[in-house]
Structure 1
Amino acid sequence: MGSRNERRHQNLVPLAALISREMRSEKVEKPTLRYGNAAQSRKGEDYFMIRTDCQRIQGNPSSTFSVFAIFDGHNGNAAAIYSKDHLLNHVLGALPRGLGRDEWLQALPRALVAGFVKTDKEFQSRGETSGTTVTFVIIDGWTVTVASVGDSRCILDTQGGAVSILTVDHRLEENVEERQRVTASGGEVGRLSIFGGAEVGPLRCWPGGLCLSRSIGDMDVGEFIVPIPYVKQVKLSSAGGRLIIASDGIWDALDSDMTAKSCRGLPAELAARQVVKEALRTRGLKDDTTCIVVDIIPPDNSPQPLPTPKKQNKLRALLFRKRSHDSANKLSKKLSAVGIVEELFEEGSAMLAERLGNDDSSSQSTTGLFICAVCQVDLAPSEGISVHAGSIFSMSSKPWQGPFLCADCRDKKDAMEGKRPSGVKVA
């Protein structure tokens, strides 16, 4: 262990050198962000976050990134408030120290998974039964990373006018894969039965009656309702684009194309108001309705109206297909030729072992102890349990290979995969 720890210390980079390297890597000018938000409340369970002053390296303005998020609570607002207050810190706490920008962006999807699971685990330990959807967006230069659970949504409207969804809706009614996962993990999926045996409403998970398959909180439903987010990371072209992040109060009234079209040509603040106004005009105020609009604008350029494309279907067909190993290079060339966006990462598996991957080195702390990949506590070698141990979904044939989990997080993982009944009880 000593030699491994010595190697780790040898690889540490002095802060001055790291800042110098960071500044050299920022040769391409960053875009300008313009943003606005609007909301109409019915239940008081929607919350949002806007942070434009985050820094990868404290004290280095060139390492600034921004965070935009919406938390749509249900069964009370406690889970939404807790996630708003703690999720960002948990995500940042799961990122290794001393990374350059490219390595930081590559590590971000895994850190988002760990941060979501830690937030859920901590909130459930409080004994409160509310839950929340989360759509969490990190913008660093031209790179946009989106993590989501539930049915809030983030869409991208490019300068070419093509509209793409950067999230996946985790509604049992529409998502066949999630229905299969929930039932395989021990949940029951069905509609609400009323007097006389008639079934009404959307598909729900029982016990609890939640119509979502992923959320943070919801301890009274069962831990097969998981907090593991779908994550997508894309790099925009220098033409920029517009992000529209909104709770389901918007998406139940408007589809993605209608939402983008309703506010084209408006500055971000007015665009957010217009989206909410259009949703209320279409459906009325039946739910909390929250919208954030973020314009990612080329440097020194004023926002330009987004034109309606003449060949929108062809452009949309090139965006965000699920890339196989055979077609990845071909699709990347097509996207580059069109000049719209490059997909860097996409993963939606609900299996923690798949999402945390394999790890030979970064699971060891500078003290020589191992650390839990989710809650970041120090572990003695005899305490850490590999995330792959005993998993039929393991990406590794070595159960002693990291990342490692503490006993509590291992129990959490087993419960999410249906390997044991949820041990969480309502206080």
Structure 2
Amino acid sequence: MMPCWSRINILCSSVTTLSPKASGAPLSIILARNICRRAPSAFDTLRRTPSTSPAPTAKTGSIDGLSRHLRVPVVAFRTSPGHLREDDFPGFQRWEKRNERGRGNALRYGLSSVQGWRGEMEDAHAAAVALPRGLRRWSFFAVYDGHAGSRVAEHCSKHLLEHIAASNPDFQSALNEDHSDGSSSSAESVANAIRAGFLSFDESLRTLSEKHWWVHCGSTAVAVLISPRHLYFINCGDSRAVLSRGGGGGGGGGDEPYFATRDHKPDDPPERERIEQAGGVVIMRRVNGDLAVSRALGDFAYKCAPGRGPAEQPVSPEPDVVVIERREVEDGEFAVLACDGVWDVMSNEELCAFVRHRLEATDDLERVCNDVVDTCLHKGSRDNITVLLVSFSAQRHCVENMHTDLIRVVITALSKAVHLVSDCNDCTIA
């Protein structure tokens, strides 16, 4: 949010640039166009309120004169009431959804993401139903929520998995143990290798940040690595993953998730203690009064405490890794990975209940993710939104399939009835 005096200065300077020839255009539209041109971030705070009156018209000469005076193209008015083109305003909200789907290893996934009210799309994701190099029975899904730009999140989506699995000798040795006996000790070795992969990736990212000046850019990460025996939930930051099983969570209500990752916020006691021991402070629930997460990849401006390791810095790149045996969730329904644009407006229980009810009506995971995005926007989310839904069940026998089966039964019954009537008629004639 811009300071009040800045918005007043922009508004005043916008008024002074108006030409007497601009009388044919509504003053509110011209002011909004000027404000957006002078400070695009300020326009993120505006709201578009549809009007019930017909769109105004303007004389071509007056608009052309205004365009020459402002040296920018002026709003082109539509004939439909209350709607402006998004291209008329740089930094205006973008509602185009990006969708993706896939299947493999007895899994299905769907994804939906939208830029929303933000001036830039800073989210990224990774989805691989079968990993290369002898890991075809392993799957990996992740959501990355960038801040101060999308560069770190995009780099994570392309290269983090490689640092975890392909170029990590600790992971390869732990993998051999997991293949041999699948014990809890081997699963913990894989978890330790994942943590080591995060730290090595963050160190490689430091070199790039110094080269491309990414010191103030960073990204959270939430992921799930799925092996034939285990689920490895990985979290670094305030993005979140939830796991739902049939009948709800253990010991809770029917909508309670079986498992949910823990957000890394600066005001949490363990996180605050690490930040203060590294010489940082927590002000207004932010690291040094600025960063709203206490763990992230990148953000090297907060990783400069001398004499301390990478996991002991005010902002740590070390993730939490939780291992769950797949036999514990044999009746598992789905897992949801999402950025904080979802969790700002929906609780774990609300999201699990929403997804479960939608899956009873459709097998289309993309459609379910789109419904989650639309619901979050309706609830007032102003952040980028990315939702990745992983289904552990086979093709569900949903309501749509039940309707199809019912129609098929009815058609079969009618066909048999027609044949019986025909046979009776033949017998009567004979």
CA separation of 1:69/1:289 partners in 2, compared to 1, >3 Å: closer, same or farther?
Answer: same
Structure 1, gaps ≥5 residues long: 1-29, 192-202, 307-427
**Residues of 2 paired with 1:261 and 1:250: CA distance?**
14
Q: How many residues align?
A: 256
- State whether structure 2 residue 161 is matched by structure 1 residue 88: yes
User: Which residue in 1 is equivalent to 2:316?
Assistant: 226
- State whether structure 2 residue 343 is matched by structure 1 residue 247: no
Name the aligned partner's letter for residue 87 of structure 1. L
- State whether structure 2 residue 267 is matched by structure 1 residue 190: no
- State whether structure 2 residue 108 is matched by structure 1 residue 34: yes
- State whether structure 2 residue 240 is matched by structure 1 residue 164: no
**Which one of the candidate residues 177, 184, 205 is aligned to 2:287?**
205
User: Which residue in 1 is equivalent to 2:137?
Assistant: 64
User: Which residue in 1 is equivalent to 2:354?
Assistant: 262
User: Which residue in 2 is equivalent to 1:214?
Assistant: 295
**Which one of the candidate residues 215, 222, 227 is aligned to 1:140?**
227
Name the aligned partner's letter for residue 287 of structure 1. D
Name the aligned partner's letter for residue 207 of structure 2. S
User: Which residue in 2 is equivalent to 1:278?
Assistant: 375
Which secondary structure state, in structure 2, belongs to the residue aligned with residue 254 of structure 1? coil
**Residues of 1 paired with 2:366 and 2:279: CA distance?**
45
Q: Which moved more, 1:99-108 or 1:231-240?
A: 99-108
Structure 2, gaps ≥5 residues long: 1-103, 250-256, 304-312, 400-430
Which secondary structure state, in structure 2, belongs to the residue aligned with residue 72 of structure 1? strand
**Residues of 2 paired with 1:244 and 1:275: CA distance?**
11
TM-score w.r.t. length of structure 2: 0.56
Question: Hey, which of these two has a bigger chunk of strand by percent?
Answer: 1
- 1:41-52 matches, cutoff 5 A: 41=115, 42=118, 43-52=120-129
Say whether the 8 Å CA contact 1:172–1:178 is kept in structure 2: yes
CA separation of 1:161/1:56 partners in 2, compared to 1, >3 Å: closer, same or farther?
Answer: farther
Say whether the 8 Å CA contact 2:233–2:261 is kept in structure 1: yes
Question: Hey, which of these two has a bigger chunk of helix by percent?
Answer: 2
Deviation at 1:176, TM superposition (A): 2.0
- Aligned-residue identity in percent: 27
Name the aligned partner's letter for residue 85 of structure 1. K
- State whether structure 2 residue 273 is matched by structure 1 residue 180: yes
CA separation of 1:89/1:31 partners in 2, compared to 1, >3 Å: closer, same or farther?
Answer: closer
**Residues of 2 paired with 1:247 and 1:170: CA distance?**
13
Name the aligned partner's letter for residue 303 of structure 1. R
Name the aligned partner's letter for residue 239 of structure 1. D
Deviation at 1:140, TM superposition (A): 1.6
Name the aligned partner's letter for residue 135 of structure 1. V
Larger radius of gyration: 2
Say whether the 8 Å CA contact 1:31–1:142 is kept in structure 2: no
- State whether structure 2 residue 191 is matched by structure 1 residue 109: yes
CA separation of 1:116/1:291 partners in 2, compared to 1, >3 Å: closer, same or farther?
Answer: same
Which secondary structure state, in structure 2, belongs to the residue aligned with residue 264 of structure 1? helix
- 1:323-338 matches, cutoff 5 A: none
Deviation at 1:143, TM superposition (A): 2.1
CA separation of 1:77/1:133 partners in 2, compared to 1, >3 Å: closer, same or farther?
Answer: same
**Residues of 1 paired with 2:387 and 2:375: CA distance?**
12
TM-score w.r.t. length of structure 1: 0.56
**Residues of 1 paired with 2:222 and 2:142: CA distance?**
6
Say whether the 8 Å CA contact 2:160–2:201 is kept in structure 1: yes
Whose relative contact order is higher, 1 or 2, with alpha carbons under 8 Å and at least 6 apart?
1
Which secondary structure state, in structure 2, belongs to the residue aligned with residue 171 of structure 1? coil
CA deviations on 1:45-88 (whole Å, 9 max, x unpaired) are 00011101214626xxxx51110000100011111112112111
**Residues of 2 paired with 1:31 and 1:219: CA distance?**
38
- 1:320-399 matches, cutoff 5 A: none
Question: Moved runs in structure 1, 4+ residues, more than 3 A?
Answer: 97-100, 103-106
**Residues of 2 paired with 1:73 and 1:86: CA distance?**
15
What value does the CA root-mean-square deviation take over the aligned residues? 2.2
**Residues of 1 paired with 2:178 and 2:194: CA distance?**
18
Which secondary structure state, in structure 1, belongs to the residue aligned with residue 392 of structure 2? strand
CA separation of 1:184/1:305 partners in 2, compared to 1, >3 Å: closer, same or farther?
Answer: farther
Which secondary structure state, in structure 1, belongs to the residue aligned with residue 138 of structure 2? strand
**Which one of the candidate residues 139, 154, 158 is aligned to 2:241?**
154
**Which one of the candidate residues 123, 145, 169 is aligned to 2:205?**
123
